[in-house]
Amino acid sequence: MSILLLSEIFPPLHGGSGRWFYELYRRLEAGSVTIVTQNNTKTADNQRVDNEFPQAIHRIKMASNSWGLISLSGLAFYTGTLFRILRLKPKGLAQIHCGRTIHEGFTGLLLAKILRKPLVCYVHGEDIEVARTSRELTWIVKRVLAGANRLICNSQNTKALLVEHWQVPEEKIAVIHPGVDEDRFKPVPPNTEFRAAHGWTDRFVCLTVGRLQRRKGHDRMIEAIPHLLKHIPNLMYVIVGQGDNYKNLTAAVKKLGLEQQVQFLNEIDDSDLIGCYQQCDLFILPNRSDGNDIEGFGMVLVEAQSAGKPVIAGNSGGTAETMDIGITGLIADCTEPACISEAVVALKKATEKGEFQPDTCRQHVLGKLTWAKHTEQARAVFDQTVELR
């Protein structure tokens, strides 16, 4: 089987979907996949990823501020992207895969029609929900959903959105939860040197990893800290990630006088990132719906549990599917700082009583959410995708 994957988001560019595709497609037979992705500005980082990856990677201009078709810039974007891919002269293809319904999905649809190949499209939840805010984007996504042979959703919640809002037949949809590399994200003993180096000594550390977007809920957690300090005086909230909301979050921290309680780690390497998972006390993704922007699944919650940490997530999107609620994590209304505070205090007290143990959290992941299990499920979907005649 020869697969062409189109995805703007791919390492070294950070993002949950990019990590998903990196982990999945590197586990398929070497040389069976060609990946077309964005040509990022950090050439050295691109080369590092390309050299170590077992599949061919082509980096082209694949980003645009306009995903519509009405504007000249949008039309030029799709036309240009299509021709840049065709100039690569893909041969022997069995399937075309797209990282999102938009914009990659529409380019993939055009390519699939030209080359007469089946189309597999990934659906993350936020992509189809954001598209509903625009008639033009809705029209494009409808074409992609109708034209794709198979749709792969990251959660049952995303599948429900496709069925209820987009009237997609259930038999066209496969749900495959993203996984985790359990050999990298694993529990380790407390590391006093790591904690001291990061200023965590004697602190109760709550960790959030992810892009700094409103739907991730960092702001509500920050607002919950003054109340939390009454119950957990040594609390520290550590935020790992970059994004457009950074200035707003730092302003909120300053306004509340929480500079000693909130730590931003904007750029850290993978070993440091895994260390943060392993050495924090609990992991929280206080996500909420921001208009139509939702958290489709929450891979970071799986990574935290694999590292033996209990988790807290918002009651929006597909985050509940990452955990065994009440056993490895809690779901809370993260639109309200008071509810976040209650959940953190409750989880801390429960762990002190012996609940939410590291081995319990990890075994939940090992049972169903590893990349090995994910790849097995994905292979089955790809094998069932019938080639167009």
386: pLDDT confidence band, cut at 50, 70 and 90? low
Tell me the pLDDT band of 1, cut-offs 50, 70 and 90. low
Least confident stretch, 80-94, 146-160, 277-291: 80-94
Same structural domain, 144 and 111: yes
Asked if 329 and 350 count as a contact pair (C-beta separation under 8 A), the reply is no
What value does the mean pLDDT take over residues 57-62?
94
Average pLDDT over residues 363-387: 91
* Whether residue 175 is found in the same domain as residue 216: no
Asked if 31 and 120 sit in the same domain, the reply is: yes
Confidence class for position 389, pLDDT limits 50, 70, 90: very low
Residue of 212, 217, 210, 200 whose CA lies nearest to 260: 200
Domain of residue 13: give its range: 3-179+370-384
SS3 175: strand
Instruction: State residue 14's pLDDT score.
Output: 79
Q: What is the pLDDT of residue 270?
A: 87
Q: Can you give the CATH number for the domain in which 379 is found? A: 3.40.50.2000
Reply yes or no on whether the pLDDT at 271 is more than 50.
yes
pLDDT tens per residue, range 295-321: 999 999 999 999 999 999 999 999 999
Q: Are 57 and 35 in contact (CB under 8 A)?
A: yes
Q: Does 168 lie in the same domain as 25?
A: yes
Whole-number Cα distances in Å, 224 to 131, 213, 262, 336, 338: 32, 18, 12, 8, 6
Q: CA-CA distance, 335 to 133, in Å (whole number)?
A: 21
Question: Are residues 155 and 293 located together in one domain of the fold?
Answer: no
pTM of the complete model: 0.91
Same domain, 94 and 155: yes
If one counts the domains in the chain, the total is 2
Look at 340 and 291; give whichever has higher pLDDT.
340
pLDDT-based confidence at residue 387 (cuts at 50, 70, 90) = low
Which of 278, 296, 306 has the alpha carbon at shortest distance from 181? 306
- Return the pLDDT at 312: 98
d(CA 220, CA 216): 9
Percentage of the chain modeled with pLDDT above 90: 85
Residue 389 inside a domain? The answer is no
